[in-house]
Amino acid sequence: MTALVLQIEYTEDEARKIGVVGWVKNTSKGTVTGQVQGPEDKVNSMKSWLSKVGSPSSRIDRTNFSNEKTISKLEYSNFSIRY
- What's 20's domain CATH number? 3.30.70.100
Average pLDDT over the chain reads 86
Residue 45 lies in a domain: yes
64: containing domain? 6-79
Residue 19 lies in a domain: yes
In this structure, is residue 1 part of a structural domain? Answer: no
Per-residue CA distances from 48 to 1, 39, 76 (Å): 12, 14, 21
Supply the pLDDT for residue 47.
93
**Does 60 map to a domain?**
yes
| Residues belonging to the chain | 83
User: Model's pTM, two decimal places?
Assistant: 0.83
The domain total for the chain is 1
Sequence-distant (6+) residues with CB within 8 A of 8 are: 24, 25, 26, 32, 55, 81
